[in-house]
Structure 1
């Protein structure tokens, strides 16, 4: 075992000693996402910690929709409830919840230094380490290797190429009798997932990041309009109209059932696609998302990730921290990488032979994480949720053809200037 792993598991050994000395067992509650295999893996790791320490951990299921989950967290924490001790928190939610979360600095003993600095920086709010990184994400393009080979098509490097290839294969497959085939599925519901998709479109066209690092609103530009106009052209052609109500699992369904050529999703979808009962097992490839066109065009993937935090209202705070340190430690992160293709936040694990074998694409993602596009959470602070809501709702109006792109983006630009109070977030 590495020295880092030994340090990470030291708190568990301490708890074993305490339990052996007659310490009273406790029951903790952890709120986990049920997306993909998350609930199963969360429960498994929590049960393992409970057996090692003599305590009990109950897993609280939460909504898959990130916005709904955030609303639940805010309600529980704002009420001062002690009913949930540990929360699985999206990285863009950390700043919003920070005042209700326990400072882990005195407990972590520097373990966080082994994680991606970008994730640790996101966890530190006002000099307080309020969460521990659990897994890191970036948007990816999934594609059917067999279909691209069948129709002699390359993996698309631009959005224009993706649309052309998706249309070609979709039409040919339908002509062959597969009437449920679509070219491209993604997350189009008006929620945080659409913010991620739309940010990728805009950034890939050189349209900025909605709000830049200095706090300046940048969305009101021709490249942003071009990007959203492009995406609106997907709906009803290479993407079903139902995509306007798709989140991660709704888009994974048709792709994994063999009814889509391309899919935008997070890394977790790889393990599901490769499952023994998956209709597309061994038929799927993973690539970077396409770039746009024009000045500043680039490949762009929204940076994402999840962290674990302790409620400051927990009656078993010290134990809850020990649970978090175990869950975010190398043993559990490796297990999650092997069983669920969740990308570790511990840099050392990207050298692990088992992880590289199970997830061939994972090693290359280290570079992707370094260049991924971050949502403007740092610049907008506690107003990020409002900024994201305005952005996703505006984009959704354009996608659903109820607003014209130029007019919608202009209104959004004005609205964000109002929210920012002249850039003073």
Structure 2
């Protein structure tokens, strides 16, 4: 099943155009708060009460990009399930553009112009700040009880938060994983590495034994993916990009230099090819699937790709959480990708919108997404279900991972990310020392946050 690729997993994002909107209060929303608060207690938080078939019917609109391009349409499957559970709410699906930047621009134009449609929209995990800052999404934490957000896996709600308010409900997610050659590790009696240092050492051992050309491939090109990879090393080293208020850079630290120095050492040692400076997800996957690398860092879809026709490693691929640095607790951090659900501030159906979001992130819908479509559920209770873990090695690994969001808690995130990935790429290429690249990135981030260009 080919899955929709969000722009946070590949490609450079376009600079955003700010829109303007005003939140619209409604008595329906207030009644929905009571409804969902009552439904949020204990296990019932994920299983809302079904509605009566005697009330009037309300139609809401949901705009979402196709999630898969083959087999049943996941969106329509979930809508049908929801309408059976809530016969008084009908959902009209609006198919959004598959290009994330086009989708975002279209939504900004519609909502800033005052349109009440769509009522609910599916959007990238890095949208909360820009949509929140410009009044283009309802702060859900003002409409839903705290217990609602407790259902999500740690790290996901933080990624949906801007200035202390949660603007989105995590719908389904993606994250970084370590893929490894089971056959090669077995032949050399090597364990699955739990530290970055161990991964590097095992890679060199496998390369010296002439069992594989490269040790480890990942994403180091001058694009968003390099920010994703860097965030994992940075967080493992104890570093952060932004201050708690999101208004200044905290990147220029020994932790950041340590992270980037290690990334560069992968190249200089020969563990990672020098061409990593041009590698995005497809190049990294192709190298691994062709049998040329022992380890791969990539997103959830990389496993199915490695087991598809044409791959030279079918049956030989294992999945594990990402490593961390020596001396830190395992596992390392995985960067968050994926999609959230947002509510249009101009909606006239707030109560129904909240009911829809509550269902879509509840146990029933999340279980369907995981077991029938292999999507990674955001609902913590579903992530650990035996039926979900049994689907594939990726979902079996998910409960053992730790998540970290990108520094997207600022409307200037595109420029912040650009400052990171451009300088990371220069360090990987040897054009700048890791220390100088980090200093340059930090300066660029502060310029971006002050409203200036890079």
Q: Same fold (TM over 0.5)?
A: yes
Alpha carbons 1:85, 1:310 under 8 Å: kept:
yes
Match of 1:301 in 2: 333
The answer to whether structure 1 residue 231 and structure 2 residue 271 are counterparts is: no
Q: Distance in 2 between matches of 1:343 and 1:366?
A: 10
Deviation at 1:162, TM superposition (A): 2.4
Q: Structure 1 residues 222, 130: CA separation in 2 closer, same or farther (over 3 Å shift)? A: closer
Deviation at 1:274, TM superposition (A): 5.6
Q: Structure 1 residues 60, 376: CA separation in 2 closer, same or farther (over 3 Å shift)? A: closer
The answer to whether structure 1 residue 166 and structure 2 residue 221 are counterparts is: no
After superposition, give the CA deviation of every residue in 1:193-235 in whole Å (9 maximum; x if it has no partner): 32121122233345x1123547663322344334323323445
**Number of residue pairs the alignment of both structures matches:** 402
Deviation at 1:301, TM superposition (A): 1.2
Match of 1:217 in 2: 249
Match of 1:100 in 2: 136
SS at match of 2:51: helix
After superposition, give the CA deviation of every residue in 1:25-54 in whole Å (9 maximum; x if it has no partner): 56x342337589899534543465468755
Alpha carbons 2:67, 2:75 under 8 Å: kept:
no
Match of 2:319 in 1: 286
Q: Structure 1 residues 76, 273: CA separation in 2 closer, same or farther (over 3 Å shift)? A: farther
The answer to whether structure 1 residue 358 and structure 2 residue 387 are counterparts is: no
After superposition, give the CA deviation of every residue in 1:69-118 in whole Å (9 maximum; x if it has no partner): 65665455445556654333343421221220134468757544433464
Q: Distance in 1 between matches of 2:229 and 2:187?
A: 28
Q: Distance in 1 between matches of 2:428 and 2:256?
A: 14
Q: Distance in 2 between matches of 1:40 and 1:170?
A: 44
Match of 1:413 among 439, 442, 448: 442
SS at match of 1:189: coil
Q: Structure 1 residues 56, 302: CA separation in 2 closer, same or farther (over 3 Å shift)? A: same
Match of 2:99 among 63, 72, 75: 63
**Gap regions ≥5 residues in structure 1:** 176-180
Alpha carbons 1:36, 1:268 under 8 Å: kept:
no
Q: Structure 1 residues 82, 3: CA separation in 2 closer, same or farther (over 3 Å shift)? A: closer
Match of 1:178 in 2: none
Q: Distance in 2 between matches of 1:265 and 1:317?
A: 38
Alpha carbons 2:260, 2:434 under 8 Å: kept:
yes
Match of 2:295 in 1: 262
The answer to whether structure 1 residue 131 and structure 2 residue 168 are counterparts is: yes
Match of 1:145 in 2: 182
Q: Structure 1 residues 114, 221: CA separation in 2 closer, same or farther (over 3 Å shift)? A: closer
SS at match of 1:412: helix
After superposition, give the CA deviation of every residue in 1:140-188 in whole Å (9 maximum; x if it has no partner): 211111122234333233334323433554576678xxxxx64322222
Query: TM-score, structure 1 length as denominator?
Result: 0.74
Q: Distance in 1 between matches of 2:200 and 2:69?
A: 27
Alpha carbons 1:36, 1:249 under 8 Å: kept:
no
Q: Distance in 2 between matches of 1:211 and 1:185?
A: 28
CA RMSD of aligned residues (A): 4.2
Q: Distance in 2 between matches of 1:405 and 1:46?
A: 49
**Gap regions ≥5 residues in structure 2:** 1-39
More helix by share: 1
Q: Distance in 1 between matches of 2:225 and 2:71?
A: 17
Match of 1:196 among 203, 223, 228: 228
Q: Distance in 2 between matches of 1:241 and 1:113?
A: 43
Q: Distance in 2 between matches of 1:250 and 1:48?
A: 38
Alpha carbons 1:167, 1:238 under 8 Å: kept:
yes
SS at match of 1:261: strand
Q: Distance in 1 between matches of 2:358 and 2:423?
A: 39
Deviation at 1:9, TM superposition (A): 5.8
